[in-house]
Amino acid sequence: MNNQQKSLLVKATEKIAPSWPLDKLIAVNPLWSLIDKPFDTVATELSAIAGIKAYLPTETYVAWFNQGRIDQASLTKAAQHYGVQALPESLIEMLSQPLPTLTPWKNIADLADQERPANKMSWHDEITHQVSQFCADHYQQISPTLRQMSSNNQIHLYPHWLSVTTEDKGLSIILDEPQLIHQFKTLPKTTDQLFTMVINELALDEASLPYYAHALLLDINGWSSYLAYLQWQDSDQQEEHLMSLLAIKMAWELVIWRYLSKHKNPQANSIKQAWKKQKQTIEQHIAKHKEALLSVKIWALALEYSEQKQLSQQLTSQSLVPPIKAELQAVFCIDVRSEVFRRALEKQSDAIQTLGFAGFFGLPIEYKAKHSQYSRPQLPGLLQPSITVSESETDIEHAQNEQQQARWQRWGHAAPASFSMVESMGWWYAFKMFKQTLFSKRQTNPAARLAPNTQWQITQNGKPLTSQDKAQLAKGILDAMGIKHYAETVLLVGHGSHTSNNLHASGLECGACGGQSGEVNVKVLATLLNDPAVRSSLKTMGIQIPQNSKFVAALHNTTTDQLTCFDHTLAPQHAQWLEQAMYGAQKERAKKLDASLLEVSDKQRHKAFLKRANDWSQVNPEWGLANNNAFIIAPRYKTRQLDLKGRCFLHDYEAQTDNEFAILERLLTAPMLVTHWINMQYNLSVTDHFKFGSGNKVLHNAVGGNIGVFEGNGGDLRIGLPLQSISDGKNWMHTPVRLAVYIAAPKHAIADIVAKHDTVRHLIDNNWLYLFSWQDDTIERYYQQQWLA
């Protein structure tokens, strides 16, 4: 294998985006590593090499057109974008034809399966099962198959797989191929030697090699994505996990190729002919997919144009309400679920001001529990924590109790728990299950239970932060937050979810911040901003916080819409406002969760919401961030009068006070990327649930504690969103449209920032998202260094 071939294989592994484990679950664009190419090009290539679907079926778009969700003008405009000119009637007829059957690239295992007798196990299915089960064993923290004493002496994936597989006589029996096991014993011991052998024997040239390698990794995309996460986290690159996985997949291909040839199988010649033709015609194959997908690309673009038109009309036609001096201020995460609650809260009084701010509240922290080795990130996965926070004092009894609860919960969430726990605990556990069914109560993760009245120790590189350091940190946050006049009470509102018996629970917490709630962040920030020494230093920096202003840490429960304030008793009027806002938000959400709750009283509806959240059989306690479609960076007064239906991320921003547009640059290079990740995860979980969704959560089993889930007891590792998070069983609850970003800022400032950052430019110029400048009643799109009306 020469350097060029090695480089092509490495590039193939770099095309796989990471997928975070269950306990740190965040939303990720599954195609993140491909954003340097146009979205349409990527969609076409993935369709050709892996059968991946980036668009919905034609009939879905036609039905939405007939319902009025796609308008004729937008459809005509979308057709023109792709060079299709036709009268409306003929355009509809042309675009309504079903797609032709598209055949993706076939690996050696797939070609062998075409000729395989129906009474034999499929090569493809058995390979997926064997590799997936092996990875599950290999990557659990202490693996019995590794014969390891600790998690520090783990051998690499490929040699471990080879040593186990050469002893596994069961493969020959399951596949009904008696001599198969002998082929594994001829495989080389290193990945480089294996790659050289495969490239030579399968006659892979530099045109076909990268497609083939990428296709093999996408064939086991769940584990590929998890291993990409391990490499994302491993800055030292002690093991090239994805290269090992690719070697295993190629090893299986070589074994089949040799086995069928050696045993003079009648299929061997036809497989070799098909393989040769496929390699020679890969470019024509991709071109065929491009042509066939044209109609659904037009429909998808027309849907996006239609939604953008409606939102643009909303933004430019409402009457603005100038900002007022607030009696109560509440700073919420930009999460789309906050928009519903903010709107309900603002309806209570004109003296209430809400603001939107990034959900980790600008704190680049990790939380490390005192008297414990446990730590977790409290910021977006794109960023690295630079500050550590822990309790300066803690209740030892509380800590020990929570550790005991954590061990119990870990056992209870294991895949075989429903059997082993009942068998071990006998009738007592059966009574516990019965009690939980009839008298359910909240089951929070022990890791999220903080002792009350926590005092915080804040360190960087092992050294405590000084008051000046804390003030500098606080200044950056307050500048970005943009509060001009501080109310007596300023709520800092993080958010978390409230579910029971839910392996994907962390995915309903903050969609960006490592699968954690924002409780630690708001508590630490409130402590900082209420600290007299910090306020004194802030004065010297030009930030004057009135002495009677108090920052209050709070948490918005997105499942029940309750808002809890920590370590503070609210004024009766403020408490009433929050209660009425909760009732209003619950009533709005009831339309999608359970329409029967619209006809009951506020208190009955509230009780029903609590019951849903505690119900351990509830498969969709809330809709999470489903149906998100836009990110608005603008002062709240410009959107306060609008019902954005819980579909928009809202980040407050005042261009007039942003010196050199440094804050805007941070927004476009961090929160915008995070919202794009969330949007694309939801989009692709809908358009291709097999590759990018995690299937039916009723069938989920945890893998290795927190690695991920199997659907049932086998197959590939499932990533992305469960079906119950995006569908009500009849309709999609998320509309797959690419994110539209609206920014109330000068056009030159936006253009300058985009020019400085390749990642941002790729997202915009390659159509992974839409970027608009919003100035009063004018909205213009920025695309490929030009402003378009």
Does the pLDDT at position 423 exceed 80? no
Q: Does the residue 272 lie in any domain?
A: yes
d(CA 277, CA 502): 48
Q: Are strands 700-703 and 648-651 parallel, antiparallel or unpaired?
A: unpaired
pLDDT in the model for residue 145: 59
Q: Does the residue 772 lie in any domain?
A: yes
Domain end: 268, 301, 334, which one? Answer: 301
pTM: 0.93
Both 83 and 119 in a single domain? no
Both 82 and 132 in a single domain? no
Binding site as annotated, residues for Zn(2+): 333, 335, 495, 510
393-430 CB burial, b ≥16 within 10 A, e <16: ebeeeebeebbebbeeeeeebebebeeebeeeeeeeee
* Full residue range of the structural domain in which residue 53 is found: 37-103+291-301
Both 93 and 144 in a single domain? no
d(CA 39, CA 737): 12
Q: Are strands 700-703 and 563-565 parallel, antiparallel or unpaired?
A: unpaired
Mean pLDDT of the chain: 90
Which residues lie across from 708 on neighbouring strands? 703
pLDDT tens, position by position, 426-441: 555 555 555 555 555 5
- Side-chain-side CA neighbours of 65 within 13 Å: the count stands at 22
- Side-chain-side CA neighbours of 726 within 13 Å: the count stands at 26
- Side-chain-side CA neighbours of 193 within 13 Å: the count stands at 7
Which residues lie across from 633 on neighbouring strands? 651, 743
Does the pLDDT at position 422 exceed 50? no
Q: What number is the average pLDDT over the span 130-159?
A: 76
Q: Does the residue 453 lie in any domain?
A: no
Q: Does the residue 204 lie in any domain?
A: yes
Does the pLDDT at position 371 exceed 80? no
Both 175 and 86 in a single domain? no
Token reading at 403: 């550790």
Both 87 and 113 in a single domain? no
What is the 3-class SS of 292-321, one letter each residue? HCHHHHHHHHHHHHHHHHHHHHHHHHCCCC
- How many structural domains comprise the chain? 3
d(CA 19, CA 557): 25
DSSP 214: H
Cα-based torsion angle of the residue sequence 44, 46, 47, 53 in order, rounded to the nearest 10 degrees: -100
Both 746 and 682 in a single domain? yes
pLDDT tens, position by position, 291-302: 999 999 999 999
Spatial contact of 553 and 579, defined as CB atoms under 8 Å apart = no
**pLDDT: is 589 or 510 the higher one?**
589
Both 12 and 75 in a single domain? no
Listed residue (35, 34, 28, 42) closest to 12, CA to CA: 34
Does the pLDDT at position 90 exceed 50? yes
Backbone angles phi, psi at 585, to 5 degrees: -65, -40
Both 94 and 192 in a single domain? no
Binding site as annotated, residues: 333, 335, 495, 510
Q: Does the residue 510 lie in any domain?
A: no
Q: Does the residue 541 lie in any domain?
A: no
CA distances from 698 to 20, 498, 613, 617, 712 (A): 21, 18, 16, 9, 9
pLDDT tens, position by position, 308-328: 999 999 999 877 777 778 999
Which residues touch 338 (CB under 8 Å, ≥6 apart)? 332, 356, 493, 495, 556, 650
pLDDT in the model for residue 440: 54
Q: Does the residue 19 lie in any domain?
A: yes
- How many CB atoms lie under 10 A from the CB of residue 576? 12
The continuous run of DSSP H or E covering 211 comes out as helix 209-219
Positive or negative, the CA dihedral 352, 357, 359, 364 is negative
Token reading at 766: 């390659």
Residue type, 351: A
The continuous run of DSSP H or E covering 532 comes out as helix 532-540
Both 60 and 140 in a single domain? no
Residue ranges in 336-450 assigned as alpha helix (H): 336-346, 396-412, 417-425, 427-438
pLDDT in the model for residue 414: 46
Q: From the CA atom positions of the chain, what is the Rg in Å?
A: 28
Domain end: 301, 333, 368, which one? Answer: 301
Both 7 and 61 in a single domain? no
Strands (E), 476-549: 489-496
Cα 155 from chain centre: 30
Both 56 and 202 in a single domain? no
Domain end: 282, 316, 351, which one? Answer: 282
- Side-chain-side CA neighbours of 691 within 13 Å: the count stands at 23
pLDDT tens, position by position, 441-475: 555 554 555 655 678 999 999 899 999 999 999 99
Residue 144 CB-density burial (10 A; 0-12 exposed, 13-18 middle, 19+ buried):
exposed
Both 46 and 134 in a single domain? no
Q: Does the residue 408 lie in any domain?
A: no
What confidence category does residue 761 fall into, taking pLDDT thresholds of 50, 70 and 90?
very high
Furthest CA-CA distance within the chain: 88
pLDDT tens, position by position, 647-696: 999 999 999 999 999 999 999 999 999 999 999 999 999 999 999 999 99
d(CA 620, CA 614): 12
Token reading at 538: 């802030």
